[in-house]
């Protein structure tokens, strides 16, 4: 879903009114189509892994056996984790439920961003399309970790707002900080409350980590 939003943002970035050359516009559109095709490929891979997880794992393991031992062990561990991850989608109903929950989740995220943009109505004039494009770039930036800063969400938000939507740096920074609070800070008290309720503590988490190893 994050990649689909990012692909849509790249394909429709010219609708924000940003002035780019024809070559850059073509490159962005081509990149968006490439990412969308990659999403389709990942979906096919998910279906394949869902029905043929163990045979695919054995085939890929044999294919990479020629790699150096260190890289092979790491790749084999990742493949095993991927197989375990798709075990939750062994039924069509489970896969459909995951898809519907993902759609609802991202609709809620876009709605939250739109409401936040409305509170900045004096400096931000976002349409629904602008919000979807903004969410697309944010979804990509949140996956990037910057040393000393952490997630790249704040940086990407400021860059997109100032460079694409021509927002001044000060309100763009304020908007980015509020997005970070909504994404990362608001959930902390809820998470801590649920952690205490479930009886989890650092000692039990360490024990679970050792058992996984």
Residues 179 and 197 in one domain: yes
**Last residue of one domain, picked from the residues 89, 105, 135:** 89
User: Does residue 182 sit in the same domain as residue 78?
Assistant: no
HSE toward the beta carbon, residue 32, CA cutoff 13 A: 19
Same structural domain for residues 79 and 110?
no
Task: Work out the angle at residue 120's Cα, subtended by the Cα atoms of residues 114 and 125, and round it to the nearest 5 degrees.
Answer: 70
What is the model's pLDDT at position 175?
Answer: 92
Find all residues with CB under 8 Å of 144, minimum gap 6, and list them.
151, 152, 156
Choosing from 70, 89, 108, the residue where a domain stops is: 89
At residue 73, the pLDDT reads 87
pLDDT at 170 (0 to 100) = 92
Indicate if 48 and 146 belong to the same structural domain: no
Query: Do residues 95 and 84 both lie within one domain?
Result: no
For 67-92, letters b (16+ CB in 10 Å) and e give: eeeeeeeebbeebeebeeebeebeee
Domain check: are 157 and 144 in the same one? Answer: yes
pTM of the predicted model as reported, rounded to 2 decimal places: 0.68
pLDDT reported for residue 18? 63
**Distances 136 to 6, 156, 177 between C-alpha atoms, Å:** 4, 11, 18
Same domain for 168 and 101: yes
Range of the domain at 104: 91-213
Residues 179 and 102 reside in one and the same domain: yes
Q: What is the pLDDT of residue 171?
A: 92
Q: What is the pLDDT of residue 17?
A: 63
Helical H runs in 64-152? 69-85, 92-119, 128-141
Same domain, 167 and 150: yes
pLDDT digit string (tens) for the chain, length 213 residues: 888 888 888 887 776 666 666 777 777 788 888 888 888 888 777 777 767 777 878 888 888 888 888 888 888 888 888 777 776 666 777 777 888 898 899 899 889 999 999 999 888 888 888 888 888 888 877 766 555 455 567 888 888 888 888 889 999 999 988 988 888 888 888 888 888 887 776 777 777 666 655
Q: For residue 177, give the nearest of 151, 206, 157, 203 by alpha carbon.
A: 157
Q: Say yes or no: 104 and 52 in one domain.
A: no
Question: Looking at the 3D structure of the chain, how many domains does it have?
Answer: 2
113 and 209 assigned to the same domain: yes
The confidence score (pLDDT) of residue 71 equals 87
Domain boundary among 45, 66, 89: 89
């Amino acid at each position: 879903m994050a990649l689909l939003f990012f692909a849509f943002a790249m394909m429709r970035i010219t609708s924000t009114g940003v002035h780019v050359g024809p070559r850059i516009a073509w490159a962005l559109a081509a990149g968006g189509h490439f990412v969308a095709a990659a999403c389709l490929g990942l979906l096919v891979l998910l279906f394949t892994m869902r029905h043929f997880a163990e045979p695919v794992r054995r085939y890929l393991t044999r294919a990479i056996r020629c790699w150096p031992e260190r890289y092979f062990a790491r790749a084999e561990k990742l493949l095993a984790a991927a197989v375990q991850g798709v075990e939750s989608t062994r039924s069509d109903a489970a896969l459909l439920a995951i898809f519907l929950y993902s759609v609802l989740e991202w609709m809620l995220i876009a709605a939250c961003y739109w409401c936040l943009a409305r509170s900045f109505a004096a400096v931000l004039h976002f349409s629904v399309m602008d919000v979807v494009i903004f969410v697309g770039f944010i979804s990509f930036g949140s996956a990037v970790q910057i040393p000393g800063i952490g997630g790249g969400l704040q940086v990407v938000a400021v860059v997109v707002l100032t460079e694409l939507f021509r927002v001044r740096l000060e309100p763009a920074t304020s908007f980015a900080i509020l997005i970070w609070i909504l994404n990362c800070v608001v959930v902390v008290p809820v998470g801590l409350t649920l952690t205490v309720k479930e009886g989890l503590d650092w000692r039990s988490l360490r024990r679970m980590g050792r058992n996984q190893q």
